[in-house]
Amino acid sequence: MRIWDDVIPESDRLVYEKSGHGKRMGLGKKPALLIIDVNYNWTGQRGLPVLRSIERYPFACGPSAWKAVDLLANFLPLVRQKAARAIYTTGDVRAIGLSGGSKLGRGKEMASIEGGMDIVAEIAPQEGDIVIAKPKASAFFGTPLASMLNALGVDTLLCCGTSTSGCVRASVIDASSYNFRVAVIEECTFDRAQVPHKVNLFDMNAKYADVISLSEARTYLESL
């Protein structure tokens, strides 16, 4: 049973199975955890339903965000204990404001939200963590992430955060294009809408990454 079973019809799954998509790629020996855009602009305020949350934070994902945040807060001590780097991304407000050609063109609006790009307090970066301000959807585009991973000798990226159908998807494609081994931790990844969330997990699992459970991620880290 996978989370996308109720939205991907049997006919589509048959094609993917026969074409060989979705097989496990497996993980490597030196992972880092990539926590994508878990800031107040994308979570919104804890406790509010998504449509209420959007009033103050237009890109808020609502309750699914906070469920993931709590799981992440609980997972991070193991990551740090295993000396896997926690790499956070958030929006580079200055660069976003200059992106005239983008679809949304709302950098200025986003930039005006006080503290909106701050990583949420429950998982605030600690000494030794890395924070990257990114200008676009992918954590790699216009950032030194690829160079940093090279310097650290990382061969595997465990990805989580938000949104599944936006910045997570874009970052996972690039991570795969750079030939890293990539996993997406399902319960720590969230979106503002449910069908895009599920279908993007399906797509990423089919083509670029192993979509794994938080428990599988724990077992993997503990095995290192």
86 sits near a second copy (criterion: CB under 8 A): no
Q: Select the residue interacting with a second copy from 63, 125, 176, 187 (CB under 8 A).
A: 176
Nearer to a second copy, 188 or 209 (CB): 209
The residue among 75 and 88 lying less far from a second copy, judged by its C-beta, is 88
Report the candidate in 87, 90, 92, 91 with the shortest Cα–Cα distance to residue 34: 87
Burial 55-76 (b: 16+ CB within 10 A, else e): eebebbbbbbbbebbebbeebb
Q: Which of residues 97-136 bind a second copy (CB under 8 A)?
A: 98-106, 130-131, 135-136
Tokens of 121: 């307090």
Site for a second copy in 129-168 (CB under 8 A): 130-131, 135-138, 141-148, 150-153, 155, 165-166
Q: Which of 63, 70, 178, 187 binds a second copy (CB under 8 A)?
A: 178
Q: Is 160 a catalytic residue?
A: no
Please, what is the minimum distance in Å from the beta carbon of residue 74 to a second copy?
Answer: 27
Spacing of C-alpha 58 from chain mean position:
19
Contact in structure between 82 and 221 (CB atoms under 8 Å)? yes
Output 27 or 75, the one with its CB closest to a second copy: 27
| Sheet-wide strand order for 210-212 | 130-134, 85-91, 31-36, 156-162, 181-190, 210-212
Q: Is 77 in the site for a second copy (CB under 8 A)?
A: no
Interface with a second copy, residue 213, by CB under 8 A? no
Q: Which residues are catalytic?
A: 167
